[in-house]
Every structure is written in C-alpha cells, then in structure tokens.
Amino acid sequence: MSDTTPLKTGSIESAIIPGARLEMSKDLVARKNQDGTVIVMKLDDSAVFYKIDGIAAAVWTELGNKPTLSELVSKFSEQHPNHRDEIGRDVTNLITALLGKQLIEKT
C-alpha cells in the first residue's frame, strides 16, 4: 500500500540559477484530479506519492511551459499584485522543494 506524502516547502536548500528554465522531471508520472489536486509519483520510487494542491498545483501545471522562476513569479503576481513579495517567496520555496525532491529540473 502506498502512502500519500504532502509536499513540504521551505526546508530544502538548492541554487536556482536566474534565467534557467524549469521543467518536470522525465522519470515521473503526474495526474491532475477533477478537484485540481495533482498527484505525482517518481517511476524509480513507486512507494511514494506527492500531493500538490492549491496554488502549488497551478504552478505545477505552468511548469509544462518550461518557465523561468521569474516568469512564474510574474504570472502569479499579476493575479495578486498586492502580494508580490509573498508570492515570490512562496513560489521560490515551492520550486526549491520540487528541485530537492527531484520532481523538476533546471535546463
């Protein structure tokens, strides 16, 4: 039986190169549910699932376009212009966590 592991952010340190494109790792399977939640499983570790929901799921979906970190921050800041600093911090923490879990990669 597999456990669903929520994706935690903020504790993983990883250098994000400005201008680097971000994309989903090739060795995983992801499924977006009707409620907007995304479930991700790495092919080499089928015992662990990651649940991504809320704004993080919208960021995950946007990774299909291979954006840079600044493009992600700009896109979501346009929707909430009074919270640009908070969005920048939260998106950076999410990307750092996804990189640390090797769910995404820099190109």
Which residues contact residue 76 at a Cβ distance below 8 angstroms, ignoring those fewer than 6 apart?
A: 55, 58, 59, 87, 91
Q: What is the CATH number of the domain that holds 26?
A: 3.90.930
Block residue for tokens 């346009």 = 78
Domain that holds residue 97: 3-8+18-106
Spatial distance between the Cα atoms of 3 and 49, rounded to a whole number of angstroms? 7
Domain membership flag for residue 13: no
SS3 state at 24: strand
Instruction: Assess if residue 25 is contained within a domain.
Output: yes
Domain contains 48: yes
Q: Lowest mean pLDDT of 10-19, 24-33, 37-46, 89-98, name the range.
A: 10-19
Rounded (5°) CA angle 100-41-89: 35
Encode pLDDT of 30-62 as tens digits: 999 999 999 999 998 778 899 999 999 999 999
d(CA 106, CA 25): 9
> In this predicted structure, what is the pLDDT of residue 7?
52
pTM: 0.82
- Report the percent of the chain where pLDDT is more than 70: 86
Between 105 and 47, whose confidence is greater? 105
- Count how many domains the chain has: 1
- Within-domain flag for 40: yes
